[in-house]
Amino acid sequence: MAIFTRPIDGRKHASSIRRYLADRVAQRKSSMLPSLVTIVVGDNPASHTYVRFKTKAAKSIGMQTRAIVLHDDTSEHELIRRILELNEDSSVNGILVQLPLPSHHQVRKVVSAIDPLKDVDGFHPNNVAALVMGDQGFIPCTPLGCLYLLYAEGIKVSGAHCVVIGRSAVVGRPMAHLLLREHATVTSCHRFTKNLADVTRSADILISATGVAGLLTKDHVSPGATVIDVGQGRNGKGVLVGDACHDALMGHAGALTPVPGGVGPMTIAMLLTNTMAAYARQNPDEEFSIRDMFQNALALSSEHNWNQILPVD
């Protein structure tokens, strides 16, 4: 039986969020703008591209932002000194250290130096603990973006069986905890999972974050299930593709995110969201609630006006 597969347009949702946040920035009470500082160490071209996109997106909604670029051989001591300086600077609301770092840095030590109240990536151990314990903190941007897509598409998470493939600290693990917090029944899969297709076929919502191009076939997906594809791999021709065999799942899955244009744009949209939340938490007169934004996600996407797209990504 052919099923209509709803494509989930991450660019459209990210654009709606930028519009929403731009309005919040414009309506702030304080004369100080929300501000984000990114740090990139070394000359990894992909890291520089990501940081450029982040800077452009923050500027597009009226935030203040700057990128600190440090030489490849910057010592860990110097990097941490720069972070501590930003922690003390009350005009800076959010700090992001672009990963990966050159190999002479210990990521955990560097991330732990960021003030947890400014850790808009949600990587600081206090924020990891807050997510696991269900306390307020910052949630990593990609999992938060995946959850937003489910809210915005009206796909119910509470009570659903969600299967997450991948257990990285940036996506898989926080994703599983976030879904658990949203009252889903959660199964985590990884490279040692036996009979992967048998497990994934039992999912109402399948979230895959492995980077293994074409891992998910029809055999892995129950008819009508939602597939959120976080993968960013390359096929034999070097083209960017997701974990899912997209063409095979069209007419089989109930809803599917494309790669590119699905989860990717949501990561930056959630970074801006976390930065706005950091600003509000540091300025108690300002009102901003991520929970409210999520609860309005359905309305926000139906209000979407293509004439109002902010020109990023």
Of the chain, the end-to-end C-alpha distance in Å amounts to 36
97 near ligand GUN (CB under 6 A): yes
Taking alpha carbons only, the member of 74, 21, 7 closest to residue 228 is 7
- CA dihedral angle for residue 12, residue 18, residue 281, residue 120, rounded to 10 degrees: 70
98 near ligand GUN (CB under 6 A): yes
Question: Is the separation of the CB atoms in 98 and 123 below 8 Å?
Answer: no
Choose the binding region for ligand GUN from 11-19, 96-104, 160-168, 297-305 (rule: CB under 6 A). 96-104
What is the nearest approach in angstroms of ligand GUN to the Cβ of residue 38?
A: 8
Instruction: Please report, as residue ranges, which positions from 139 to 168 form the binding site for ligand GUN (by CB under 6 A).
Output: 141-142
Give dist(CA 98, CA 147) in Å, integer: 22
227 near ligand GUN (CB under 6 A): no
What is the nearest approach in angstroms of ligand GUN to the Cβ of residue 260?
A: 15
Taking alpha carbons only, the member of 226, 154, 156 closest to residue 184 is 156
Phi and psi at 83, nearest 5°, equal -65, -45
Choose the binding region for ligand GUN from 2-10, 97-105, 126-134, 291-299 (rule: CB under 6 A). 97-105
99 near ligand GUN (CB under 6 A): yes
**Which residues are part of the catalytic machinery?**
54, 98, 121
Q: Find the binder of ligand GUN among 9, 115, 121, 313 (CB under 6 A).
A: 121
What is the nearest approach in angstroms of ligand GUN to the Cβ of residue 213?
A: 18
What is the nearest approach in angstroms of ligand GUN to the Cβ of residue 249?
A: 25
Strand partners of residue 95: 37, 119
Q: Find the binder of ligand GUN among 101, 170, 216, 253 (CB under 6 A).
A: 170
Contact letters for ligand GUN, residues 253-282 (x by CB under 6 A): --------------x---------------
Question: Is the separation of the CB atoms in 191 and 208 below 8 Å?
Answer: no
Judged by DSSP in three states, 195 sits in coil
Q: Name, in order, each residue with C-beta under 8 angstroms of 117's C-beta and a sequence gap of 6 or more.
A: 278, 281, 282
119 near ligand GUN (CB under 6 A): no
Taking alpha carbons only, the member of 211, 206, 124, 134 closest to residue 169 is 124
96 near ligand GUN (CB under 6 A): yes
226 near ligand GUN (CB under 6 A): no
83 near ligand GUN (CB under 6 A): no
Cα 204 to the center of its chain, rounded Å: 21
Residue whose tokens read 């902010």? 310
Binding site residues, ligand GUN, CB under 6 A: 96-99, 121, 141-142, 170, 267
